[in-house]
Structure 1
Amino acid sequence: MTANNFEDIFQSLEKGVESVATSSLKEYLSQAKTDGQRVLTDLKDNLERWAGEVETGAMTKEDLEFLLQEETALDELVSLKQAGLAAVRIDKFRNSLINMVVDTLFGFIKV
């Protein structure tokens, strides 16, 4: 995977965060976008490595979902917690982010 290809994927992920935030947490849009962008930034190196592994066939969709579920960066949605959003809604947003990342990576990388 070239750096340019990953940058295209990463830009799509950034747009995806905004879309997920808009569709799931309209009343907390600013906080959701802030947290989502921070998560992407924190995970950027891992995402690039995982995208390469997906491309080579070394990682399945299930593997990627598992790794994302275990990522502590996704547990620290600080702005949403500070805004007082209920844990159930934060978990729903977190799961939506994971699904968006998986769908985006597998959409860009044809395996």
Structure 2
Amino acid sequence: MPHQPDPKLIAGNSNKPLAMGVARRMAMHRGVKSGLVEARVERFNDAEIFVEVFENVRGEDMFIIQSTSNPANDNLMELLIMTDALRRSSAARITAVIPYFG
């Protein structure tokens, strides 16, 4: 059976504490060595979203943790742009984890 690579997490700005908690739990229970992938998610002066991934994610299984609570449109656009950045960085699989907080 081939070795399954450890999943990697990336967090949007909507709920970084949740993403850090998930990363800690994965390290405790699954023995996953890596925490959150180092990335920058910011806005230009004209409110456009900019995402920069600082780690090599080529061939990795990526999980984006981003809720779509208020402001829903901004958080959804952030999620889509993070997905695009990971796809352009050649991630093998990208899974969006979208918790709902009402």
Fold-level match, TM-score > 0.5?
no
TM superposition score category, shorter chain reference: 0.3 to 0.5
Q: Which is richer in strand?
A: 2
TM-score (normalizing by structure 1): 0.34
TM-score (normalizing by structure 2): 0.36
